Chain A
């Protein structure tokens, strides 16, 4: 039975690979929407930014050390490119037991991008089913997912910036 299941799964994956609409040419205007509280009690709604801005969803947690290494990079990108249309939404996977640490961490470092807490795993369920951290989703101005990055490698920061610049229509070299 398991062999059958895996054969079906493998076939499905292979079929999916062949039929994928693929990379920059794909368009997708119906990504799952979400609304979540930011740290000041206001609402952050994804659909308010889709199809207008390049959106970066960054999943992290206060207990995830690689995530904390990535956050200054996000702040740097936010500072450089928010005016050109980059919207960074940082999504904390902290559960209730560590949620109190989220706000102090963001404030002490002076991060100014949007930060929300995924209280019910609802955002993860839509964009990060394994609830991995760090996990980054880049969405182009056409509302399609262009790149997903599992984990953080500091040596790949220049490539990330080139990706962002490319999606913003800036010189990516």
Chain B
């Protein structure tokens, strides 16, 4: 049982490594030193039955083991930082070719801080404005992490800041959600942003992004140099060349000491070709995104108003033809994340062709820290063209002493296609979060999300009423132990096993390192974070996780 030896070695290493918070330091003479920071994360899953409909044979889905590991190393010396992240995946018996044992340096960067200039060679995250022109970020909630591997410069001069980046997009190849191997998009991106605060209370920024896609001659030349792949047979006879985004934002802060205003506009132009019997024809398109927000405060009342209009504003990675056609992996990566104006975990099907607004009011109750709030949002062409979505919710937030907190909220969501006479989604939801300390060294955390859902009302054969929810109760005992019971359910007609019970035990080795064990079932389905959504598989089995930091 080689895998067991590996786990035990890692676990013993974890437990023995229970030292206080400190980096590792090496003296290099004359009082200089090199500092090494380490973050090591290990994930081990034992799927009693792997949820993957692409695997037909039941025996191939049973008792699937996998191990994934992330080792972050950061070496610092004077103005220099060298960052490395090694990712590994191991399947003793891969259930299909989509699951691959792999080891690779996933992120590498060398950073120099030269006064007000920071230069980075290698992987870096990049987000411009409100993420509408470019947003390459860590998105662990939905298993996406994308960096730009190349050259980055950040230059500060007084009230102004310039950022220039160029490189190839590098995605985390070992997918933490589906556990399949995903190839790098390798799109070539040039990006620049200039922003500043010319005077107090006024900020502005302008930006430009050029994405050289799979079939651009420049990208092909660069990808060829770095060992990129060829694309002999384009998918759907479409060749994608470039996407260019230009835009800017202004921000007015503390108007009349009470109001903040933000506005951003970006224009998108896509260049491509389509292969026809008569030869190649241009396949260009354009789009734009406008977003505005205003925040105001008057005594106990806080107001947030937001509006968006996005038209044909979709900027994602190119589909990798080899894996898409040969292995059925069709995962692409979002390069932009425009504000959704929705709850962060809301299932937002369309955030590329939509117009909408949100208004939220918070009111602080007299002689208290407690707040009540109400939020309402309305979207046109959502979830699809000529449809609409309405979502309103409200609640009460109670702030107690020393970390005690209670949040209770409830709401209603309605998605309708009036021309078709169908209500696509009708949902009532209740959410509770409660944090309470019984005494020093004993507290609880409770979370409840319950949804009454109906879908496809008016389309008799597709209509379904069901409930869906997640709840957990955690007891923290001292600084070291946490015990969690979790219960999820989904009674949707297509789901033949509606209950998902599970339990966690977590041991905190020290204040920065822990090991955690989960046993049971957890619910999959479409999960979203900030408008980035993907389908998670259900899980049934045992998970082990550890994170150790120095």
Residues of A in contact with B (beta carbons under 8 Å apart): 1-3, 5-7, 9-14, 16-17, 19-23, 26, 28, 30, 32-33, 35, 37, 39-41, 62-63, 65-66, 68-70, 72-73, 76, 95-101, 103-104, 107-109, 119-122, 124-126, 129-131, 144-150, 152-159
A32 to B23, CA, bound (A): 13
Instruction: Say yes or no: B137 contacts A155, CB within 8 Å.
Output: no
Which residue of B5, B126, B433, B530 contacts A120 across the interface (Cβ within 8 Å)? Answer: B126
Which of B12-20, B274-282, B452-460 has 4 or more CB atoms under 8 Å from chain A?
Answer: B12-20
Interface residues of B in 141-197 (CB under 8 A from A): 156, 197
A7 to B40, CA, bound (A): 13
Given contacts A104-B362, A120-B124, A156-B441, contact A6 B6 (CB under 8 A): yes
Given contacts A10-B13, A66-B445, A97-B337, contact A155 B438 (CB under 8 A): yes
Which residue of A33, A97, A144, A156 contacts B530 across the interface (Cβ within 8 Å)? Answer: A97
Instruction: Say yes or no: A41 contacts B200, CB within 8 Å.
Output: yes
14 contacts between A and B (CB under 8 A): A1-B101, A1-B103, A5-B88, A13-B14, A40-B254, A69-B403, A73-B403, A97-B338, A101-B304, A104-B297, A104-B304, A104-B362, A120-B127, A150-B514
Instruction: Say yes or no: A146 contacts B69, CB within 8 Å.
Output: no
Instruction: Say yes or no: B24 contacts A100, CB within 8 Å.
Output: no
Nearest chain B residue, comparing its CB with the CB of A135 = B512
Give, as a whole number of angstroms, the nearest-CB distance from A172 to chain B.
15
Instruction: Say yes or no: A154 contacts B550, CB within 8 Å.
Output: no
Instruction: Say yes or no: A130 contacts B403, CB within 8 Å.
Output: no
Which residue of A70, A103, A153, A159 contacts B295 across the interface (Cβ within 8 Å)? Answer: A103
Instruction: Say yes or no: A2 contacts B126, CB within 8 Å.
Output: no
B253 neighbours in A (Cβ, 8 Å): 39-41
**B60-102: contact bitstring with A at CB < 8 Å (1 yes, 0 no)?**
0000000101011010101001010110101000000000010
Instruction: Say yes or no: B302 contacts A155, CB within 8 Å.
Output: no
A130 neighbours in B (Cβ, 8 Å): 39, 41, 72, 140, 547
A33 to B81, CA, bound (A): 11
Which residue of B9, B38, B140, B443 contacts A6 across the interface (Cβ within 8 Å)? Answer: B9
Size category of the binding interface on chain B? 35 or more
In this assembly, does B138 line the interface, its C-beta being within 8 Å of a C-beta of chain A?
yes
Instruction: Say yes or no: B512 contacts A148, CB within 8 Å.
Output: yes
Instruction: Say yes or no: B344 contacts A97, CB within 8 Å.
Output: yes
Given contacts A100-B262, A104-B304, A121-B138, contact A153 B479 (CB under 8 A): yes
Give, as a whole number of angstroms, the nearest-CB distance from A113 to chain B.
16
A73 neighbours in B (Cβ, 8 Å): 402-403
Interface residues of B in 383-398 (CB under 8 A from A): 397
Give, as a whole number of angstroms, the nearest-CB distance from B528 to chain A.
10
A39 to B25, CA, bound (A): 35
In this assembly, does B129 line the interface, its C-beta being within 8 Å of a C-beta of chain A?
yes
Instruction: Say yes or no: B86 contacts A17, CB within 8 Å.
Output: no
Total cross-chain contacts (CB, 8 A): 262
Given contacts A12-B38, A150-B514, contact A121 B88 (CB under 8 A): no
A16 neighbours in B (Cβ, 8 Å): 17, 24, 36, 38, 550
Nearest chain A residue, comparing its CB with the CB of B195 = A37
A157 neighbours in B (Cβ, 8 Å): 402-403, 437
Given contacts A9-B69, A96-B129, contact A147 B35 (CB under 8 A): no
Instruction: Say yes or no: A158 contacts B125, CB within 8 Å.
Output: no
A6 neighbours in B (Cβ, 8 Å): 6, 9-10, 69, 88
Which residue of B40, B303, B343 contacts A9 across the interface (Cβ within 8 Å)? Answer: B40
B38 neighbours in A (Cβ, 8 Å): 12-13, 16
Given contacts A35-B156, A41-B197, A41-B200, contact A65 B447 (CB under 8 A): yes
Pick the most buried of A5, A9, A157: most chain B CB atoms within 10 A of its CB.
A9
Instruction: Say yes or no: B405 contacts A9, CB within 8 Å.
Output: no
B90 neighbours in A (Cβ, 8 Å): 2
Instruction: Say yes or no: B479 contacts A159, CB within 8 Å.
Output: yes
Instruction: Say yes or no: A145 contacts B404, CB within 8 Å.
Output: no
Give, as a whole number of angstroms, the nearest-CB distance from B251 to chain A.
7
A11 neighbours in B (Cβ, 8 Å): 13
A103 to B201, CA, bound (A): 15
**B89-128: contact bitstring with A at CB < 8 Å (1 yes, 0 no)?**
0100000000001010000000001000000000011110
Interface residues of B in 526-550 (CB under 8 A from A): 529-531, 547-550
Pick the most buried of B6, B260, B295, B403: most chain A CB atoms within 10 A of its CB.
B403
Nearest chain A residue, comparing its CB with the CB of B348 = A97
Instruction: Say yes or no: A145 contacts B39, CB within 8 Å.
Output: no
A11 to B71, CA, bound (A): 13
A92 to B172, CA, bound (A): 23
Given contacts A5-B69, A96-B337, A98-B530, contact A26 B437 (CB under 8 A): no
Q: Which 10 A-B pairs have the closest CB atoms?
A: A96-B131, A154-B403, A97-B530, A10-B13, A155-B443, A23-B20, A63-B344, A108-B302, A96-B130, A2-B90
Which residue of B10, B24, B76, B403 contacts A152 across the interface (Cβ within 8 Å)? Answer: B403
Instruction: Say yes or no: B76 contacts A30, CB within 8 Å.
Output: yes
Instruction: Say yes or no: A20 contacts B402, CB within 8 Å.
Output: no
